[in-house]
Amino acid sequence: MIAPLKIGAEVAASPAYERANEALLRLDERLKSSPFREGYQSRSDFREACANLWMQGELVDLEDLVLLDANTNHKIVDQATSHAWMVLRARRTVARRAIDWPLSDEGILGLEGERAGEADSRQRDEFIYEPGWNESERLAAWRTAISEVEKLPALITAAVAWDQWLRLEPIQRGHWRAGLMAALILRSKEKTKYHLAAVDFGARYAKYRRAPHHQPYERIVGFLEWIETAASAGYKELDRLALAHRVMSLKLKGRRKNSRLGELVDLFISHPVVTVPMAAKALRVTPRAVDLMMREIGSVPRELTGRERYKAWGIL
């Protein structure tokens, strides 16, 4: 493989880098003062988790994931949805912790709620894991690759971290973390101070599809396309949230102080899908009360399913 430093320097001078850098900076700067920053991140995490499973060849219904997270899903949960929920919880975990913890050996090994001792015993299950997989050695090689491009722009470092994670797979069966590792690099270098980048979401909707036989330059430029796609979509998402909130807030005028309608508006801002049982649990009211509030809130939240029963709404 060609040295990451040489490839990184070439990509840093490319138009692809300029476009991705501008889009990412624009989104993060807007989130800095946005009242919808937390809601945006929550919605982004749900979509990123579904996109992560899509990258692994699995389709996860967004509604199923939201309901599982809210503990209001009464269906049998399949393995893909459970895995998506793990990805969702991992993103929330790293957001709560200190910036340097997720990229430390302790953080990387413990990201799925494991401890180092559990990881060692996990490796001994030869039906699932290869006994000779040296995670410490692979992690060291991954960190060496990152150190070679440490002085290049943060986006390039993140791209190399993502690419080398997929190539080396430091954590056995942990290829799903590649996009998250890149997002953490961006956060640790203060490139994204106000959000955790959604790399896999960008991968799902961009044109580029990574393949191992692609040259390193092509893979890193493709990663930048994913960043640009995700950031541009994020900016449009903020526009939608701002407009929806403004329209729904008109319904709050003249309401009693103990009205839960404002909480329902906030629930729509922070979740891509809302159902009656989910809203009833979150707002601590009856399903009948939620039905009434849904009628009062207007047509901004659109019904997403077309079903007569078990309906779900969201901001489109």
Q: Is the pLDDT of residue 30 over 70?
A: yes
Given a contact cutoff of 8 angstroms between Cβ atoms, the answer to whether 269 and 287 are in contact is no
HSE of 158, CA atoms in CB hemisphere, 13 A: 31
Domain 4-235 and domain 254-315 have a common topology: no
Name the residue among 2, 1, 26, 13 with its Cα closest to residue 152: 13
Element (H, E) at 105: helix 105-109
**For position 128, what pLDDT does the model report?**
64
Q: State pTM to two decimals.
A: 0.90
Q: Does residue 301 sit in helix, strand or coil?
A: strand
C-alpha–C-alpha distance, residues 163 and 246, integer Å: 41
Q: Nearest to residue 269, comparing CAs of 34, 16, 32?
A: 34
Torsion over CA: 226, 232, 234, 236 (sign): negative
Instruction: Output the six-digit token pair for 121.
Output: 């015993």
Which contacts of 122-130 are long-range, i.e. CB under 8 A and separated by 24 or more positions? 123/172, 128/173, 129/172, 129/173, 130/172
pLDDT attached to residue 127: 56
What number of other Cβ atoms are within 10 A of residue 96's Cβ? Answer: 7
Residue 123 has pLDDT above 50, yes or no: no
Segment 129-175, tens digit of pLDDT: 777 788 889 999 999 999 999 999 999 999 999 999 999 999 988 99
* CATH topology for the 254-315 domain: Arc Repressor Mutant, subunit A (1.10.10)
Least confident of 58-62, 108-112, 271-275, 290-294: 108-112
Tokens linked to 168: 């080396």
Percent of all residues in the chain with a pLDDT value above 90, rounded to a whole number: 72
**Mean pLDDT along residues 261-287:** 94
What percentage of the chain exceeds 70 in pLDDT?
93
What per-residue confidence (pLDDT) applies to 1?
46
Distance CA 211, CA 167 (A): 11
Pair type for strands 301-303 and 274-275: unpaired
Q: Determine the pLDDT at residue 298.
A: 84
pLDDT band at 113 (very low <50, low <70, confident <90, very high): low
Residues forming beta bridges with residue 301, ordered by sequence position: 315
Residue 18 CA from chain centroid, whole number? 23
Q: What average pLDDT is seen over the chain?
A: 90
The CATH fold assigned to 4-235 is Fic-like fold (1.10.3290)
pLDDT of residue 92: 95
Token code pair at residue 5: 């430093």
**Mean pLDDT within 25-34:** 97
Domain ranges of the chain: 4-235, 254-315
pLDDT score recorded for residue 125:
56
Mean pLDDT of 52-76: 92
> At CB < 8 A and 24+ separation, what contacts does 312-315 make?
312/63, 312/273, 312/274, 312/275, 313/268, 313/273, 313/274, 313/275, 314/268, 314/271, 314/272, 314/273, 314/274, 315/240, 315/241, 315/244, 315/268, 315/269, 315/272
